[in-house]
Amino acid sequence: MLLIFLTLLLGSFPLIKRYYPVRDIPCYHLDQCLPKEGIALLDVRDYNVSCHCEIPGAINLPIPYINRHIKDIPYNQIHLVASSSLEENIGIRLLRKKGFNIVGFSMPDCQCVK
């Protein structure tokens, strides 16, 4: 019984890490995220999604390409633009692991305003 419990606990860790929301990053409305000095505006949406709603001054770098093009991000502080909460969670965790500071995020369909 203990072995089954431990197996379920260890097997659920990747799911929790992927879907559990990151709590300490503020959400801003998409209209409020203008490029600022020292902060990179990073769009991690897929190319097919971001081409319909381009954000001026943003670096378009989908999540699968982050490891390959990590040197293309000019600043250490990043404002993230994602299309879903899953993309937001994965993007924030991946960029934090690479040593970047995430100052906020936006989603085009999100109604959050700060």
Taking residues 19-39, report their average pLDDT.
76
pLDDT of residue 72: 87
Residue 44 has pLDDT above 90, yes or no: yes
Q: Residue 34: which residues within 8 A CB-CB, separation 6 or more?
A: 41, 57
> Whole-angstrom Cα distance, residue 103 to residue 61?
17
Q: Report residue 50 as tokens.
A: 């971001």
pLDDT tens-place string over residues 50-108:
778 788 888 999 999 999 999 988 888 999 999 888 898 999 999 999 999 999 998 87
Q: Are 79 and 103 in contact (CB under 8 A)?
A: yes
Higher pLDDT, 16 or 5: 5
Q: Residue 46: which residues within 8 A CB-CB, separation 6 or more?
A: 62, 83
Q: Are 79 and 26 in contact (CB under 8 A)?
A: no
Residue 113 has pLDDT above 60, yes or no: no
Taking residues 13-20, report their average pLDDT.
71
DSSP run (H or E) holding 104: strand 101-106
Confidence of residue 112 (pLDDT cuts 50, 70, 90): low
Scanning 1-114, the segments in alpha helix (DSSP H) are 2-19, 47-50, 85-97
Q: Report residue 74 as tokens.
A: 């000019």
